[in-house]
Amino acid sequence: MTNALQVPAKGDVFLRISAHLAERTDIASALKAVADEIAEVIPFTHADLCLVDGLGWMSSYEVGIQTRWSRARTRVDASPIRDLITGKCDFMLCQDAMQDPRQTFAGACSEPIINHALRSRVHVMMKVMGQPIGTLNISHSTPGLYTMETVQRAQHVADVLSPYFHALHAAEQAQRAAQVGEAAQAREEGLRRGALELTQTLEQERQRIGMDLHDQTLADLTRLLREVTGDAPLPPAELAHRISETIGDLRRIIDTAVPTLLDLFGFAHAVRVHLERAVGPSTIGIDVTDETDGATDRLEPTLRTALFRIAQEAINNAARHSGARRISVRIEPRDNNGLVVTIRDDGRGLPADPQRNSGLAHMRTRARLISAELDILNDYGCTVRVLLEGRE
């Protein structure tokens, strides 16, 4: 055992570590660059750094064996080194981590220890200006390999690594924060432009309604007035028929502008009626299923109306352009009182350039305005899925 851990006398390992780190700009490549030097000081099967990454979380970077530790952040309370991170000890030395309750407790993220038989383990703190920034963790598949002398060597290595990796980690965090800020700014700009386009569309819709009232309803009423007051007034039955037609046309214009069915009979019924009207006398099969026991009707009116408008647009696209044989709408629950509304057809799918479809852009804008996710899938027809997170 002593021979296995003897440090080779060939140059200053720590100077070489410093030289390697000075040339690196990211944590992963920096750790790989010094892996051989660390192995000269302490032979290992697996080595990793755990760096504090937000309150209660750690990010891991590893060499030797690739495990799940470096694929996602780990909660401190689920980490095998939680006692070290929380200050309950100054170091950890395990002769067989697979049998050590400090490393394999209930709920621990210890699968890599079991899966790769990481038995001997040593863990020491990494500090900068006296403040903990993470841990250096070294493992070997041979049980009982490491001693207190190994702990001292590991601490020397950690002391050399700490300032470099602290600087690299701070730079990565700053870069992530900048990227998040840029993404938020881009989303805000996209929402602003989308809202402007939606406002323009609404103005065009108001103009269309005004023209419909002028060209259709007003013209019909004017014609009826002439026929009633003319030399040969219409018979009562004919007059009643003409007035009924005018009322029907006016009701259709009103229903397009204001979703009265939504207020009177609820979301699922309004969607079904709109779907029936959209397909008309065609042979397109339709289906509306509500698995939420009317949860959409317990939403705030603004949210419910936005969902209805998105469903209207998706239904209109499917009925007019897809060539579908069947259109279905399904309303399903999500966790925390959320909702999923799915409009699916078995038609020919979206056009080659869906970005040119203003209807899709308006659906996306409406979804963003209510903080909902909108997925549009173009496979075996078209599927529009609106995912609304639960509200407290």
- 172: domain CATH number is 3.30.450.40
Query: Within a domain: residue 135?
Result: yes
List average pLDDT for each run of 10 residues in the chain, which is 392 residues long: 44 84 88 93 94 89 88 86 91 95 90 92 94 94 95 94 91 79 74 68 66 70 78 78 78 65 86 88 91 91 87 88 91 88 89 60 83 86 90 57
Burial class (CB in 10 A: 0-12, 13-18, 19+), 23: exposed
Same domain assignment for residues 288 and 150 = no
Same domain assignment for residues 8 and 154 = yes
Q: Which domain, by its residues, includes 270?
A: 266-392
**pTM surpassing 0.85?**
no
Helix (H), strand (E) at residue 211: helix 148-212
Query: Within a domain: residue 186?
Result: no
Considering 181, 205, 237, which residue would you say is the last residue of a domain?
181
Query: Within a domain: residue 270?
Result: yes
Same domain assignment for residues 23 and 128 = yes
Same domain assignment for residues 152 and 289 = no
Same domain assignment for residues 175 and 272 = no
Query: Within a domain: residue 194?
Result: no
For residue 7, the model assigns a pLDDT of 42
Considering 181, 212, 237, which residue would you say is the last residue of a domain?
181
CATH classification of the domain holding 309 = 3.30.565.10
Query: Within a domain: residue 193?
Result: no
For residue 9, the model assigns a pLDDT of 42
Same domain assignment for residues 176 and 279 = no
Same domain assignment for residues 172 and 277 = no
Query: Within a domain: residue 378?
Result: yes
Query: Within a domain: residue 234?
Result: no
Same domain assignment for residues 173 and 310 = no
Burial class (CB in 10 A: 0-12, 13-18, 19+), 197: middle
Cβ-Cβ contacts under 8 Å for 320 (sequence gap 6 or more): 278
Same domain assignment for residues 138 and 276 = no
For residue 235, the model assigns a pLDDT of 82
C-alpha 231/C-alpha 199 separation (Å) is: 48
Considering 117, 152, 181, which residue would you say is the last residue of a domain?
181
Question: DSSP per residue over 158-209, as a string?
Answer: HHHHHHHHHHHHHHHHHHHHHHHHHHHHHHHHHHHHHHHHHHHHHHHHHHHH
Please give the C-alpha separations between residue 106 and each of 74, 102, 122, 144, in angstroms, as whole numbers: 15, 10, 21, 24
C-alpha 178/C-alpha 191 separation (Å) is: 20
Neighbours of 243 (CB within 10 A): 15
C-alpha 340/C-alpha 348 separation (Å) is: 24
Same domain assignment for residues 9 and 150 = yes
Query: Within a domain: residue 187?
Result: no
Same domain assignment for residues 143 and 270 = no
Question: If you average pLDDT over every residue of the chain, what do you get?
Answer: 84
Total structural domains within the chain: 2
Same domain assignment for residues 171 and 281 = no
